[in-house]
Amino acid sequence: MTDWSFIIGFMPKRVDHAARRQEILQAAVRVFARKGFASSRIEDVAAEAGIAKGSVYLSFDSRDALLQAAFESYAAGSAQLLASLEPGPALDRLATLVRRVVAMLAAHPDHARVLVDLWSAGPPLDMAAVYRDYREAIAGLLRQAREEGALRPGIDERHAVVIVAAIEGCLLQWLVDPELPLADLAAPIIEVCVEGVRS
Amino acid sequence: MTDWSFIIGFMPKRVDHAARRQEILQAAVRVFARKGFASSRIEDVAAEAGIAKGSVYLSFDSRDALLQAAFESYAAGSAQLLASLEPGPALDRLATLVRRVVAMLAAHPDHARVLVDLWSAGPPLDMAAVYRDYREAIAGLLRQAREEGALRPGIDERHAVVIVAAIEGCLLQWLVDPELPLADLAAPIIEVCVEGVRS
Amino acid sequence: MTDWSFIIGFMPKRVDHAARRQEILQAAVRVFARKGFASSRIEDVAAEAGIAKGSVYLSFDSRDALLQAAFESYAAGSAQLLASLEPGPALDRLATLVRRVVAMLAAHPDHARVLVDLWSAGPPLDMAAVYRDYREAIAGLLRQAREEGALRPGIDERHAVVIVAAIEGCLLQWLVDPELPLADLAAPIIEVCVEGVRS
Amino acid sequence: MTDWSFIIGFMPKRVDHAARRQEILQAAVRVFARKGFASSRIEDVAAEAGIAKGSVYLSFDSRDALLQAAFESYAAGSAQLLASLEPGPALDRLATLVRRVVAMLAAHPDHARVLVDLWSAGPPLDMAAVYRDYREAIAGLLRQAREEGALRPGIDERHAVVIVAAIEGCLLQWLVDPELPLADLAAPIIEVCVEGVRS
DNA sequence: AATGAATGAGCTTTCATTCAT
DNA sequence: CATGAATGAAAGCTCATTCAT
């Protein structure tokens, strides 16, 4: 990587402020996952990121802003996941959604572990909105399934809560007991929640 | 604040140390439910219990001991609930169990709200054991159901995780979004989780 | 000092919270006088008061509250001084006022030294009001002097500013140069400011 | 921000290092006047000067050096003012001096406002010397006035303190209460302090 | 037993100063 | 020379815990 700056003049010392912010956020997520937000010190995050304590404040306004950013990152991932469902029979799409959510959680255990702190954190974090979106997406799939005649009678939006619950409840049990094979739970979730509503 | 007890005669040191401990614990649970454990000060608990800060330490060794006690209280309630199932067809017993767990959570929202702090708290709190017990109880019911021929094939212990998940996941969504009608969710949980495994 | 508390029951550990507040305030004034408010740490004040850092916060909400209290103390002393003038010929009363103000400043050099920090401090400290009161008191004396025919023509409220200025300006020079014999300046102030307006 | 100077040829490193120092100093004085030295950040000064934080250090060794420079600038102005008195009757020269000092303060309110920080600042700032010079100059005028027979008896160097005090005390009251019409106070100061010593 | 004043470790945040670019 | 990201010492404030009364 030749440094051409002597030709084009002065360059900002850090090309990408956003990248540094990402690095710190990821370090923070690792630290939060390891010791929980309540026990995580700014200094821990800085050390994990390999920078000095004060430097964290160049990218984040406060300790709480780190958790907020972790939330936003998670919420964005969730929204993206919900938006990425390909067309097809509704219950197949539902099964795919379940598989993907579980896979995402299992693939990013650090982010998943932070969830317990996001649940604890009050406003301005809006986890309620995240689950509302989940439920609405699944309720939409259930409506589509009914139109397809794939749903047994009596299934409505309240069952969307239960399907979200099955996923998040598995996640919860894994958070509390990491022995539990989270990745293997997609199948039984689908068997219960998808087959459990099929006509 | 003057203590006239030396005039009116001997009084029992403490009518019931255990009762005082209970009062404080219940006050603590209310406070934790209201502001979360992280934001709850010993002084808040003392004020809620109507006693002085230092007096909390006559019944509890530390702030963490309060959370530990809240955990033990919750774990005891859970164990009792699991132990109280009357005989009958397995899936009926399962439905009853679901109904009772949801009813208990809905009836004691303060205790339920503390759960999010219990999930966050690491050792020596052993929430893993609580859910292990839940899963084992439900797995036992599923085994009984299989012997009764009430279970469709392919249902095993992994599905016990999902059934616990459905309950705890509903609780979770309610914690995060109190608008959600927790008490009304027993029915859909049963419809999905019990009917979803029935042969 | 026999401790009778065993007879009358429990007594508050500190009989007088206000007294402790006073002790801390006086310690703070000494520290502020010595190093200036900007360079005074809460820990310095605590050490001067012979207590622990955290104990300062039992009596004062913040570091700024200490300066605020110092201001209030000074303002109260000023008001009291202005209110204590005995009857008599106006210009005699004015001379007495000057003498008393200078004597008070000279007698409490620590409080006087804090004035420079009170001048610097913005709202909510209202030093403007203190000097407004000074000026009004002196303007009142000048009006009385005019009625007595003791005043040469052309003297009005603007000269009250100058009389206050002569006092505070001497104080200022002494603050900046402690060699200056503040206590000896009452006489020349009177000679210039009182005789300078006499008819 | 790219530096094209390597293309358009050599440019003087800095047209005038002293000029840049001046610009920064003036920016600093404005900032100090606005928020006080204690609340003024190096970054504020840099922003006011339109340069980067680090560039301040090319002209000044430290934050304190900025205040020191402001002091030196003020002291120089004072000395110049004292040195510029034209010949004439002593008390006329004194009145002129008062008028000029007040005019200078009123004409440069930012510099005047910094005075309160100069009073607070301890060594190595030597405000004592500034007022010593003022007093000596005025004491000289008073000596000249005595030789001219214009002084009533009993007036000596201590009255020089009072005359300086009248000026600085008016300044002080204006600093604390900007409503006060500083520029209008020259006349009453002269009436009290000059006429008050005239034979 | 009950109290609450006192303690001080520990944490977040700020900002003067440095220095690689 | 100019820059501004990086640093880390420093300070205000909180609060769990102790203990004299």
The pLDDT tens digits of the residues spanning C50-89 come to 999 999 999 999 999 999 999 999 999 999 999 988 888 9
Q: Give the model's pLDDT for residue B125.
A: 94
How many domains is chain B partitioned into structurally?
2
Are C170 and D172 a contacting pair at CB < 8 A? no
At B128 the pLDDT is: 96
Q: Which of A147-156, B190-199, C131-140, C148-157 has the weakest average pLDDT?
A: B190-199
Q: Is D114 domain-assigned?
A: yes
Considering only residues B157 and B7, tell me which one the structure prediction assigns the higher pLDDT: B157
| Chain-chain contact of B128 with A179 (C-beta, under 8 angstroms) | yes
Give A150 or A29, the one with higher predicted confidence.
A29
**Cβ atoms < 10 Å from Cβ of D137:** 21
- Is residue C122 assigned to a domain? yes
Residue type, A68: Q
What pLDDT is stored for residue C10 in this prediction?
43
More confident residue, C191 or B1: C191
Whether A8 has its CB under 8 Å from any CB of chain D: the answer is yes
Domain that holds residue A183: 70-199
Of B60, B76, B97, the one marking the end of a domain is B60
Average pLDDT, chain C: 90
Residue A184 within any structural domain of the chain:
yes
For residue D11, pLDDT over 70 is answered with: no
Least confident range from A99-103, B10-14, D94-98, D134-138: namely: B10-14
Residue D94 to residue B26: CA distance in whole angstroms:
81
Are B94 and B165 contained in the same domain?
Answer: yes
**Alpha-carbon span D148 to D93, nearest angstrom:** 13
Evaluate if residue A143 carries a pLDDT over 50: yes
Q: Mean per-residue pLDDT for B90-119? A: 94
Residue B4 resides in a domain: no
Give the pLDDT of residue B33. 96
Question: Which carries the bigger pLDDT value, residue D193 or residue D44?
Answer: D44
> How many angstroms separate the CA of A72 from the C1' of E20?
34
pLDDT at res. A192: 85
Query: Are 3 or more Cβ–Cβ pairs between A and C shorter than 8 Å?
Result: no
Please check whether residue A8 lies inside any domain of the structure: no
H or E stretch including A159? Answer: helix A157-176
Q: Are residues C173 and C87 in the same domain?
A: yes
Helices (H), chain C: 5-8, 17-35, 42-49, 53-59, 63-83, 90-107, 109-120, 127-147, 157-176, 186-189
Asked if residue A174 lies in contact with residue B128, where contact means CB atoms within 8 angstroms, the answer is no
Residue labelled with tokens 């259930």: A142
| Residue of chain C whose Cα is closest to the Cα of B3 | C9
Distance CA A45, CA A30 (A): 8
Residue A196 pLDDT class (50, 70, 90 cuts): confident
Cis peptide preceding C87, ω within 30 of 0: no
CB neighbours of residue C72 within 10 Å: 12
Is the pLDDT reported for residue D69 higher than 50?
A: yes
Per the domain annotation, does A6 fall within a domain? no
Q: What is the pLDDT of residue C5?
A: 43
Nucleotide nearest B55 (Cα, C1'):
E2
Give the model's pLDDT for residue D6: 52
Chains B and D touch (3+ CB pairs under 8 A): no
Are D45 and D123 found together in one domain?
Answer: no
Contact partners, residue C18, CB within 8 Å, separation at least 6: none
Distance from CA of B192 to the nearest CA of A (A): 5
Cβ–Cβ under 8 Å, residues C59 and C24:
yes
A8: chain D residues, CB-CB within 8 Å? 2
pLDDT at D166 over 90: yes
Residue B117 is part of a domain; what is its CATH number? 1.10.357.10
Residues of A in contact with D1 (CB under 8 A): 9-10, 12
Question: Could you tell me the two tokens for B174?
Answer: 């309610």
Please tell me which residue lies nearest to nucleotide F9, judged from CA to C1'. A54
Q: Give me the pLDDT at residue B13, please.
A: 52
Last residue of a domain, one of A60, A82, A98: A60
Q: Is the pLDDT of residue D54 over 90?
A: yes
Q: Which residues of D touch A12 (CB under 8 A)?
A: 1
Are residue D177 and residue D116 in the same domain, yes or no? yes
Give the pLDDT band of residue A123 (cuts 50, 70, 90): confident
DSSP secondary structure code for residue D43 in this structure: H
Enumerate the residues of chain C whose CB falls inside 8 A of the CB of residue B1. 10, 12
In this structure, the dihedral spanned by the alpha carbons of residues C158, C159, C164 and C166, taken in order and rounded to 10 degrees, is 130
Amino acid at C84: S
Condensed to tens digits (0 to 9), the pLDDT of residues D100-127 reads 999 999 999 999 999 999 999 988 999 9
Q: Are residues B29 and B106 in the same domain?
A: no
Sign of the alpha-carbon dihedral angle for B37, B43, B47, B52: positive
Q: How confident is the model at residue A7 (pLDDT cuts 50, 70, 90)?
A: very low
Residue C56 and residue C68 share a domain: no
Domain boundary among C60, C77, C96: C60
Nearest nt to the CA of C63 via C1' is: F12
The whole-number Å distance from C60's CA to E12's C1' is 21
Question: How many Å apart are CA D75 and CA D129, to the nearest integer?
Answer: 9
D106 and D174 fall within a common domain: yes
d(CA A193, CA A188): 8
Give me the phi and psi of B10, to 5 degrees please: -70, 140
Least confident of C60-64, D91-95, D164-168: D91-95
Residue B91 sits in the same domain as residue B183: yes
C34 reaches D (C-beta below 8 A): no
Q: Please indicate, yes or no, whether residues D40 and D114 belong to a single structural domain of this protein.
A: no
Task: Report chain F positions within 7 A of protein CB atoms.
Answer: 1-21
Is A54 part of the contact surface with chain D (CB cutoff 8 Å)? Answer: no
Contact assessment for residue A189 and residue B163, using Cβ atoms and an 8 Å cutoff = no
Judge contact between B60 and B24, C-beta under 8 A. Answer: yes
User: Distance (Å) from CA A79 to C1' F17?
Assistant: 46
CA atom of A17 to C1′ atom of F11, Å? 29
Over range B48-73, report the average pLDDT: 96
The alpha carbon of residue C2 is apart from the nearest alpha carbon of chain B, in Å, by 19
- CA→C1' distance for B62 and F17 (Å): 8
pLDDT of residue D63: 97
In a domain, B175, yes or no: yes
Mean pLDDT of D48-77: 96
- Which domain CATH number covers C29? 1.10.10.60
pLDDT < 50 regions, chain C: 1-14
Task: Inform me whether the pLDDT recorded for D10 exceeds 60.
Answer: no
Residue D157 has pLDDT above 70, yes or no: yes
Q: Does position A16 have pLDDT exceeding 80, yes or no?
A: yes
Question: Cβ(B172)–Cβ(A176) under 8 Å?
Answer: no
Residue C6 lies in a domain: no
Same domain, B33 and B118: no
Nearest nt to the B39 alpha carbon by C1'? F15
Tell me: pLDDT of B10 over 70. no
CB hemisphere CA count around A134 (13 angstroms): 29
Chosen from B191, B194, B197, B199 to mutate, greatest number of chain A CBs within 10 A: B191
- Residues D157 and D132 grouped into a single domain: yes
Looking across all nucleic acid strands, the nucleotide with the smallest C1' to CA distance from residue B57 is F17
Same domain? B38 vs B107: no
Residue among B44, B74, B42 nearest B59 (CA): B42
